[in-house]
Chain A
Amino acid sequence: MKHIVKILSLVIAITALWVGLLQTSIIPQSHTWLLPIYFVVSLGCYGLLMVGVGLMNFPTCPQEALLLQKDIVEAKEYLKQRGVDVSTS
């Protein structure tokens, strides 16, 4: 099944739930009408939160840059001795 079909089914299920709530008036109608807006806003906030949290916890590795520089020096020496052109131009 295509992914978009899965998502649309989910949307339809939620919409059906919403319509059901409207008709049976478990929650006052005035509130129910606003539920989709609350849902979209919450989703947006959740997304922003995830981005923020991810940004704060973004794994970094400054030591890797140093290790890489060492590797580069080692590689250049080895290859230069064996006749490989390791210049940049």
Chain B
Amino acid sequence: MDEQHQKQKNKYSIIVPTYNERLNISLILYLIFKHLQGVDFEVIVVDDGSPDGTQDVVKQLQQVYGEDRILLRARPRKMGLGPAYIHGMKHASGNFVVIMDADLSHHPKYLPGFLRKQLETGADIVTGTRYVKGGGVHGWNLMRKLTSRGANVLAQTLLWPGVSDLTGSFRLYKKSALEDIISCCVSKGYVFQMEMIVRASRKGYHIEEVPITFVDRVYGSSKLGGSEIVEYLKGLVYLLMTT
């Protein structure tokens, strides 16, 4: 009864950064609205000036779902993930913030699970993990699995982070927690995701994990490149020294 009452007082702001996600943004918004019926939420699309017309599609979706449920808060060009979240948060009216990718690797069907976990445990942060039973990935070849596993073992050994999936970016934060942590994070890209969760862990925030499945992107081009390994190692050393 108390949980139900609490649920009614909560509003969830879902921040989705996009760049050239013209088709994916429709699909993901459809799925979010499908799986979060009865929940008070808004989606904030932070588009970095996509040349493929992503913003036009978002405007069409606003006609379907309502301009109060889908907020388009664009920026002129690519300005980084961290700044995208900060920009999104400025327009967030919820007391909880969800961050997720637009490319369908994060499936909105897990959102109710995130919300439920948070209500059950009172956690400050609920993070999705691909590496535990019940979770998983699809579309990764052996090389990618190897680098992922190697990267994870290295990070676990060096950082003792307290979570099983450091680079994951499918997370639910209490808005106050996110504001606090994001103000001290300076990294870029996915090292930024690592920095967020490690700093949260160091600060003593209550973090829970839920298994999620991650299907490698279906449409569009991945933003993951080759120099990522060097960036990753640099990021680990940085986190080792400063957290």
A19-27, A31-39, A81-89: which one contacts chain B? A81-89
Contact A3 B202 (CB under 8 A): yes
Contact A4 B27 (CB under 8 A): no
Complex formed: what's the CA distance from A64 to B176 in Å?
Answer: 34
- Nearest chain A residue, comparing its CB with the CB of B108: A71
Contact B132 A68 (CB under 8 A): no
Residues of B within 8 A of A74 (CB): 30
Contact A64 B153 (CB under 8 A): no
A85 CB to closest chain B CB, in angstroms? 6
Q: Is A40 interfacial (CB 8 A cutoff)? A: no
Interface size on A, residues (CB 8 A): 33
User: What string of 1s and 0s marks CB contacts (under 8 Å) between B19-53 and chain A?
Assistant: 00011001100110000000000000000000011
Q: Is A30 interfacial (CB 8 A cutoff)? A: no
Within A46-89, which residues are at the interface with B (CB < 8 Å)?
Answer: 47, 50-51, 54-55, 58-62, 64-65, 68-69, 71-72, 74-76, 78-79, 82-89
B4-12, B78-86, B182-190, B213-221: which one contacts chain A? B213-221
Contact A64 B136 (CB under 8 A): yes
A53 CB to closest chain B CB, in angstroms? 9
Contact B27 A65 (CB under 8 A): no
Q: Is B137 interfacial (CB 8 A cutoff)? A: yes
- In-complex Cβ contact of B133 among A59, A83, A88, A89 (8 A): A59
Binding site for A on B (CB under 8 A): 22-23, 26-27, 30-31, 52-53, 56-57, 60-61, 63-64, 104, 107, 130-139, 145-146, 149-150, 152-154, 157-160, 202, 213, 215, 218-219, 239-243
